[in-house]
Amino acid sequence: MGVLVLLELGALLGGFLNVVEALLIAVTGLAEVTVGLVSSSLAAGILGFQQSAASTLSGLRADTEGIPTLLSRDVIPNQGYQPGGTGAWEGPFLGLEPAYAWALRLVLVLAYALVLSYWLFRGWLVFREHYRQMEWSPTDDVVDKLRTHRWGQFGIVILVLFLTMGLFGPAMGPTTVEQNILSPYTEDSRIEYYNAESGSVETVFAGEANFNAKSIGSQDSNVGPMTYDDYGRFHPFGTLTNGRDLFTFMMGGARISLIVTGIAIGLGTLLAGGLAMVSAFYRGSIDLGVLTLADGIVSVPRLLLLIMVSAVFANTWLGNILDGGFLLAVVFGLTIWPFLWRAVRGPALQVAQEAWVDAAKSFGQQPSIIMRKHMFPYIMGYLLIYASMSAGGIIISLSALSFLGNGLGISPPTPAWGRAVSLGQGLVSGPSWHISFIPGAMIVLLVTGMNAFGDGIRDAIDPESDTGEGGETTAAGGGG
């Protein structure tokens, strides 16, 4: 495990700090908005802390990018040129053609991610068998059934692949988001290429190269999938209408989409799980109050609320966090928890009436401990099912907002899948079909994978599907 971590220490630390920064912004942003209703000075203090801490984390993340990793583009570069226009390439790894150098790095990154995932799973099995104090937990049955559930395993593989895109996207793409999209006219964005007219090797800004590599629907102005442009740059998915590399655009979009979806699902799951256990434990007027609140939130059209919030906070600091993604994540989280709460309320009520919960009450355990230790493990499976399926809906809604544009969704130039679909919607029937089709196919694949994962967990916690000795125990626990 130490070797696996050291191979990609910089990328792993960068991804971890990226998540920590997003969580910090999410928590302090909610605190600032809430406290601002009572004290503007205290809210300003929270905002100052957020800006200072976010700046520190951004600096640390920039430092981690300088840590050499085995599978980075510095070790396996794929950008280069052919002196004289023919012969061996100069610049790419071992003089390989840029397409082969990129493919080699991509395969190694994917292999690393799969090996790391498998190693973590095997480590958990060893921990469960030899080091864990408890002999059995509801999660054990779920994992054991998923090991033979092919549809659920398909969903897990898809999720691992897209998480790999979000974490190792800079290494997987033929170029970087910073060089090709965000800052294409800086000194770091210069590329070398062979100019056939002058017969010499020259340099050009990535932005200028993009301008001459547009895919706008004609045979003369199109860089399709698995082709090169006039500057020796390989484009696995082709280019966009503005000449930017589509594969790099998709990798950047995967990161922001997964961060926004993760924050939204985390917030919604936290609210739904907590309120489900509280309403099931106390019942009565508390349960009725939560039900009334949930019905009120469900009655508000989510898309209309998203459009309204995006328009109101478009030019504020809150609307600029994560390029507008944080605000969308909060709205998604606050509007999705009623659906999750309804899904887990029944199992929570069932578990709250079990004998071990009554025994814990009679021994004087605090309600918070009873909920955390004796109730949460038995509703966690249901939360995972509906959270994974709801995540697919968030991905589609986020893409739809970016598709509509006009200040909605993720703010440009930050990559967003829906914006790519919008850019190519009028070119589907021509040579530039790839602009809309590939992002749309990836959205469908991710949503299908999330639904498959949810289906796998649903089948795994179904007592009727358990034919082993633990079936009666699982049924008594209400699933987990």
| pLDDT per position as a tens digit, 317-357 | 777 777 888 889 989 999 999 999 998 998 899 888 888 88
Q: What is the mean pLDDT of residues 253-280?
A: 91
- How crowded is residue 126: how many other Cβ atoms within 10 Å of its Cβ? 11
Per the domain annotation, does 451 fall within a domain? yes
Give the span between the Cα atoms of 403 and 449, in whole angstroms: 22
Q: Which of 18, 47, 64 is the last residue of a domain?
A: 64
Give the span between the Cα atoms of 360 and 166, in whole angstroms: 43
Mean pLDDT over the full length of the chain: 86
Give the span between the Cα atoms of 11 and 111, in whole angstroms: 15
Contacts of 308 (CB under 8 A, 6+ apart): none
Residue range of the domain that includes 272: 246-476
Per the domain annotation, does 175 fall within a domain? no
Give the tens place of pLDDT for each residue, 299-317.
888 888 888 887 777 777 7
Q: Is residue 175 within 8 Å of residue 76, measured between CB atoms? A: no
Give the tens place of pLDDT for each residue, 381-439.
888 888 988 999 999 999 998 998 777 888 888 899 999 999 999 899 899 999 999 99
Per the domain annotation, does 195 fall within a domain? no
pLDDT at 132 over 90: no
DSSP lists the bridge partners of residue 234 as 228
The confidence score (pLDDT) of residue 475 equals 32
Q: Which has the closest alpha carbon to 251: 324, 187, 161?
A: 161
Asked, as a colleague might, if the bond just before 413 is cis with ω within 30 of 0, I would say yes
Per the domain annotation, does 352 fall within a domain? yes
The confidence score (pLDDT) of residue 241 equals 94
Total of domains in the chain: 2
The confidence score (pLDDT) of residue 464 equals 61
What's the predicted TM-score (pTM) here?
A: 0.85
CATH of residue 382's domain is 1.10.3720.10
Top-confidence residue, 119 or 378: 119
Query: What b/e sequence results for 86-110 when a residue is b if at least 16 CB atoms lie within 10 Å of its CB, and e otherwise?
Result: eeebebbbeebbbbebbbbbbebbb
Give the tens place of pLDDT for each residue, 176-190.
999 999 999 999 899
pLDDT at 473 over 50: no
Give the span between the Cα atoms of 212 and 96, in whole angstroms: 25
Q: What is the mean pLDDT of residues 284-288?
A: 90
CA 464 to chain centre: 33
Give the span between the Cα atoms of 423 and 425, in whole angstroms: 6
Q: Which of 64, 85, 105 is the last residue of a domain?
A: 64
The confidence score (pLDDT) of residue 465 equals 54
Top-confidence residue, 390 or 477: 390
Q: Which of 15, 30, 64 is the last residue of a domain?
A: 64
The confidence score (pLDDT) of residue 368 equals 87
Q: Is residue 205 within 8 Å of residue 189, measured between CB atoms? A: yes
The confidence score (pLDDT) of residue 217 equals 87
pLDDT at 14 over 90: no
Per the domain annotation, does 232 fall within a domain? no
The confidence score (pLDDT) of residue 268 equals 92
Cα angle 238, 244, 249 (rounded to 5 degrees) comes to 80
Handedness of CA 415, 421, 427, 433 (dihedral sign): positive
